[in-house]
Amino acid sequence: MTGAGANQGTVVFGTDDVSRHFLGLAGNFQLGSTFSQFVFSNTGSNRFRSGSSDGVTSFKFYSNVAHTSGNIFEIDDGFGDNAVTIDFDKNFGIGTTVPNTTFDVAGGMSMPIFGTDTTHTALITQRMILCGSGNETFTVTLPTAAAAYNSTDSTGLVLEVKNIGTGTITVDGDNAETIDGVTTIVLSTQYSSITIQSDGTEWWIK
């Protein structure tokens, strides 16, 4: 253990609850502290942390300067091609270094699909529900609009319900919740469908 007075030029292997491992002030490498378990840090703008000083964030890449251009986080595939990018404007890209929307995928994207022949209550993890394989007639009840909505970011679940049989499928809002102002939508013909989105209070047809 070395260092004195503010731990100048310090190499520390401590046993107390504050500093267990520590190397250098200007270019810090630390394993273990009250909250931060693994840290690469320096006095510049780029930092890596596993665990944070607030004891809440478990994994973090961050900068202490405001970026107005470029990317703040990148992962490549080991062959020089980009796999994941987050740019300064908080756009998230997969397969691109220049994402121009909040979520930009350079390639195909798969979504969950679920099939049912009987009464079903939709889940917020579902995206498309295929109803019927014969002449079944039943109801699909929607999740509550509030459960399917993120009020912090004003984002609502998009859900599609499709009748692939010859029976009649009724799409019903939870309790008195409505879909475009009505409590139920009836899909009475084969291959008819409805795509809806929650606004936190009710559902709207897209």
Angle (CA) 105 108 109, round 5°: 80
SS3 138: strand
pLDDT of residue 164: 98
Tens digits of residue pLDDT in 102-124: 889 888 889 999 999 999 999 99
Please, which pLDDT band fits residue 143 given cuts at 50, 70 and 90? very high
Please, which pLDDT band fits residue 98 given cuts at 50, 70 and 90? confident
User: What is the DSSP annotation of 70-134?
Assistant: SEEEEEE-SSS-EEEEEETT--EEES-SS--SSEEESS-----EEEESS-EE--TT-SEEEE-SS
Give start-end residues of each CATH 2.60.120 domain in the chain: 113-205
Structure-token match 């049989």, residue found: 165
Q: Give the H or E element holding residue 85.
A: strand 82-87
pLDDT of residue 127: 96
* pLDDT beyond 50 at 37: no
**Level-2 CATH architecture, domain 113-205:** Sandwich (2.60)
Tens digits of residue pLDDT in 173-189: 999 999 999 999 999 99
* pLDDT beyond 80 at 87: yes
Q: Is the pTM of this model over 0.85?
A: no
Please, which pLDDT band fits residue 45 given cuts at 50, 70 and 90? very low
| Cβ partners under 8 Å of residue 113, min gap 6 | 127, 128, 130
pLDDT of residue 183: 97
